[in-house]
Amino acid sequence: MKISKEFKVGLLAVISLSILYLGFNFLKGSNLLSPYNTYYAVYDNIDGLNVSNPILINGFAVGRVSDIEILQNQQNKLLVSLDIDRKQTIATGTWATIKSDILGSKAVHLDSISVGAPAGDGDTLNAYLYKGITEQLSSTAMPLVDQMEVTLSNLNTILANLANNEDNINQVIANFKNTSSNLASGTSKLGAMSTKLDQLLTELNDPQTGVAALVAKMNQLADTVNSLELDAMMTSTKKTIDEFGNTIREINEGDGNLNRLLKDDELYQNMTKTMEDLDKLFIDMRENPKRYVHFSIFGKKDKQAQENEEDPTEPLEE
């Protein structure tokens, strides 16, 4: 059987295209000869991740990113399709983290693949975007840049105000110079005052004529006054005690009325009886005052009538 040239050219073209397709996919990281499972991860931001970027486990490529789709009904989140070799067991708690290397190339790193039950084909993994050193420095530097811009703006405003108030600034500088000259002229006076103050402090610190000697003399004077007052008080107290003792001794040893009053029971009884008689007399005077007091407006007639009252047996005068 004779093969035509057209068939040979077509067969060569098919074989070339097949080799080109297989080589292109091989360079992208996919192995058409090995079966794979497709997993999904939803990101808010993929930070430049592209289709055919590798999927790594501890730095080893186990698949590639097969597709990226925008979810417009979910606030434009990004759905990333991950084709992973079926030989790799992916747990349900695995994190699909987007990371960058030093050159800025993106890759999806699978972390914590041994946690949880195995995930099936078509399951959704946890998504996370890792910020590299560049992103962290950028996020930290941007607030500093904003603050520097605000500071420069304020500095420009201050410089503009200084330019507009140049005359006032010159006047302030002139006043400062005058103040400095006045301070310089007053330095000699301050030096003299300082010298006098040093002399005064030296005199006060003198052990013979200074404050210490004065305090010692005051303490000595106070001790003397206290001792004199204490001696006088003790002398007066002793004298009073002696006089009181003499009085008690005279009462106990003497024969006076006070001693008799304290020791003689008969005198005490007589005085008691006399007081009782005086009490009876006062009672009788209050109850019968006419026996002791006579008062008459008409003189003798009243006196005779009183006598007749005292002696009713005597006849009355005609």
pLDDT digits (tens, 9 = 90+) for 207-224: 777 667 777 777 777 777
Based on the domain organization, do 117 and 28 belong to the same domain? yes
Based on the domain organization, do 117 and 37 belong to the same domain? yes
Based on the domain organization, do 112 and 44 belong to the same domain? yes
- In the chain, the number of structural domains is 4
Based on the domain organization, do 143 and 126 belong to the same domain? no
Based on the domain organization, do 207 and 251 belong to the same domain? yes
Based on the domain organization, do 44 and 72 belong to the same domain? yes
Mean pLDDT of 30-41: 75
Which of the two residues, 218 and 125, has the higher pLDDT score? 125
pLDDT digits (tens, 9 = 90+) for 259-281: 656 666 676 777 788 888 888 87
The model's confidence at residue 131, banded by pLDDT at 50, 70 and 90, is confident
Is residue 311 a part of any domain in this protein? no
Based on the domain organization, do 30 and 100 belong to the same domain? yes
Is residue 312 a part of any domain in this protein? no
Based on the domain organization, do 27 and 125 belong to the same domain? yes
- Give CA–CA dist 170/164, Å, rounded: 12
- Which residue range forms the structural domain that includes residue 103? 22-130
- Residues 262, 251: contact at Cβ < 8 Å? yes
Based on the domain organization, do 48 and 118 belong to the same domain? yes
Residue-averaged pLDDT of the chain: 75
- Give CA–CA dist 21/14, Å, rounded: 10
Is residue 3 a part of any domain in this protein? no
